[in-house]
Amino acid sequence: MTNRLAETLSPYLRAHADNPVDWYPWGEEAFAEAQRRDVPLLISIGYSTCHWCHVMARESFADPATAALINDGFVAVKVDREEHPQVDGAYMAAASAFTQNLGWPLTVFTTPRGRTFYAGTYWPPEARAPMPAFRDVLAAVREAWTQRRAQAEESADAVTEALARAAETSPSDLPDPAAIAAAATAIAQREDRQFGGFGAAPKFPVATTLRFLQHPLVREGAPDAAAAAGRALAAMADSDLRDADGGFFRYATQRDWTVPHYERMLTDNAQLLDVARDAGDEQVVRGIAAFLVGVLRREDGGFGAAQDSESVIDGARSEGGYYLRPVPERAELEPPAVDGKVITGWNGLAIGALARAGAAFDESAWIDAAVAAADAVLRANRDSDGVLVRASLDGRASAAVATVADLALLADGLFALALATGELQWATTARGILDHAIAGGGGRDPLLSAQGIASSPDHTDGDLPSDAAAVAGAALTAWWLGAGEGYREEATGIVRTLAARSLEQPFAHGTLLRVAAGLALPPRQLVVVTAARDGALADAARGAEAEVVAVVAPDQARRFADAGFALFEGKDTTAERAYDCRAFVCRLPVSDPAEVSATR
């Protein structure tokens, strides 16, 4: 049979279109059918490059007998977590009440109105201790619903109430430098001194945490904690986690970074590009950039979400087999598929990272790739009213709403692109998108709201910054560029709201703590006004440590100032000059590259 998924946008959903399961995509139709039949929803959440999602699909969802049990007792809903991150977040939070082994595929059983009363991840077709067989789980859940329904609904209500309590926060003071350094030291206590990185197996890159540890305030106040970031990057770069072509895999299943989970995500690689750039590791920078531009970039210029862990070799599905071949031999094989969804916020991460790296390493091709991606996202990722949405595929916009993080991460990437190119349009577009996010743009999935499905806002970083931290970070960048004190106040308000929680759990709040550090340390802003973008004065500035490095022509400086970016006011001189500022207080301009300090 062909179910309702064949015409959806998601490659993940399309891959299940021929299952015997009578799948519905996420939407009102599935809820209406569950309420009509008065049966639970079985909500299966995954993504196209997820290995265990593939395994469960082959073992269970493609099996006619298992499908019959699902179709008879449930309304089955298939969700792409990358297209609907808020749905995934809501049900992941609910699932934590039932299992500590969270991940994907996520399998959730809910009331007809979407409230969770049981959940788990992968279940095999036959029992493998300690995991029961999936068919036995289906039978037990159906029995619970038909024989002990009141108990199931009571469990769902308890989960809903717990999520509501978890959403409560209490503002506190801004963290001072000592508190921020202490948070970094607490993170460093989790360092694996033998193999690098943090914790035991499975081991993840945790790029958001590494970026916090790299902040100048941490380097000054907690130097050993800051050094842990460099040790982690070096360990990962010299391990199986890094593919021979330069791209990084999602995580390692072993403590020593061996036996990777072979999927390769845009989120990880974009953020690790920034980590490597800050560390001055040019080899790693060039490898990641080559992977982004050569593998994940789509024909329209946007970047796809991920590359699969599996490929077909000699007629059989193989996990990791392609990556285990020497690079020259790969040319003879069909490479693992790339999920071509162009996700708004994820592309914002890539745009910013490539723009910064391109400027730092004098690689115009990387900046050009960032420009092309920005054009692609701003063109294709819009609904019929011109509002930015979550994603697009082959130029077709998704109906899924953009998250707040999508808007903020794209804005921050466009600010970086403005600095790398000297072009005002990127900064004004970024400011408009950020203003929309601050005013409540993006936001909650409408069906979650309509059904009253609880979703405690997750203010912790996962594989990318949280919504709140992303907005705070973009607002801080806008302030650095002179867009107004209101942006600093916005960043300050967000950090104050979450400060106590971030200091208690610093490992999970790397992005927010980096913003806190940015508020506690006066920013260095370097503006070079020159007609020679590739001249010695511009090169000296690009090699310096600063929060803002802008190389602009006199007329560009004037346009930035006229558009409300106060950092550029009074800097439209026709003589080549470098302005070295600390929180908008500038020293006398210089024209000698030797007078531009490389350090703060």
| ∠ Cα 156 161 163 (to 5°) | 95
- Using the CB atoms, write b or e for 221-253: b if 16+ within 10 Å: bbeebbebbbbbbebbbebbbbbeebbbbbbbe
Show the DSSP H helices in 200-281 as ranges: 207-213, 216-221, 223-237, 266-279
pLDDT at residue number 166: 66
Confidence tier at 527 by pLDDT (50, 70, 90): very high
CB neighbourhood size of 427 (10 A): 29
pLDDT at residue number 457: 67
Kindly list the strands in the beta sheet with 116-120, ordered across the sheet, starting from the edge strand earlier in the chain: 24-25, 75-80, 41-46, 106-110, 116-120
pLDDT, tens digit, for every residue of 325-367? 998 999 899 999 999 999 999 999 999 999 999 999 999 999 9
Cα–Cα distance measured from residue 76 to residue 87, given in angstroms and rounded to the nearest whole number? 15
CB within 8 Å of 506: residues ≥ 6 apart: 183, 184, 186, 187, 212, 513
pLDDT at residue number 215: 98
289 pLDDT above the threshold of 90: yes
Q: Is 168 exposed, middle or buried (0-12, 13-18, 19+ CB in 10 A)?
A: exposed
Q: Is the dihedral of CA 529, 533, 537, 540 positive or negative?
A: positive
CB neighbourhood size of 396 (10 A): 9
pLDDT at residue number 171: 81
pLDDT at residue number 1: 52
| ∠ Cα 210 213 215 (to 5°) | 115
pLDDT, tens digit, for every residue of 10-22? 999 999 999 999 9
**Of 301 and 444, the one with more pLDDT:** 301
Cα–Cα distance measured from residue 402 to residue 245, given in angstroms and rounded to the nearest whole number? 32
Helices (H) and strands (E) in the chain, counts: 25, 19
Whose tokens are 């290995």? That residue is 51
377 pLDDT above the threshold of 90: yes
Q: Is 320 helix (H, G, I), strand (E, B) or coil?
A: coil
Strand 585-586 relative to strand 577-582, pairing: antiparallel
pLDDT, tens digit, for every residue of 384-406? 999 999 999 999 999 999 999 99
456 pLDDT above the threshold of 70: no
CB within 8 Å of 451: residues ≥ 6 apart: 31, 113, 114
Write out 21-63 in H/E/C secondary structure: CCCEECCHHHHHHHHHHCCCEEEEEECCCCHHHHHHHHHHHCC
Cα–Cα distance measured from residue 442 to residue 476, given in angstroms and rounded to the nearest whole number? 19
* Mean residue pLDDT across the chain: 94
Which structure tokens are listed for 189? 């206590």
Cα–Cα distance measured from residue 429 to residue 413, given in angstroms and rounded to the nearest whole number? 11
* Cα–Cα distance list, 353 to 52, 197, 198, 371, 461 (Å): 30, 22, 23, 12, 18
* Low-confidence winner among 58-67, 430-439, 567-576 (lowest mean pLDDT): 567-576
Cα–Cα distance measured from residue 331 to residue 327, given in angstroms and rounded to the nearest whole number? 7
Average pLDDT for 565-587: 94
Percent of the chain with pLDDT over 90: 86
Average pLDDT for 589-594: 95
Q: Which amino acid is at 110?
A: T
Task: Write the DSSP assignment of 494-518 as a string of letters.
Answer: HHHHHHHHHHHSGGG-HHHHHHHHH
Cα–Cα distance measured from residue 153 to residue 150, given in angstroms and rounded to the nearest whole number? 5
Average pLDDT for 144-152: 91
pLDDT at residue number 2: 64
Cα–Cα distance measured from residue 6 to residue 13, given in angstroms and rounded to the nearest whole number? 7
273 pLDDT above the threshold of 60: yes
Cα–Cα distance measured from residue 251 to residue 260, given in angstroms and rounded to the nearest whole number? 6
Average pLDDT for 529-541: 94
Whose tokens are 């996962």? That residue is 462
pLDDT at residue number 160: 76
96 pLDDT above the threshold of 70: yes
Percent of the chain with pLDDT over 70: 98
Is the model's pTM score more than 0.85?
A: yes
pLDDT at residue number 97: 85
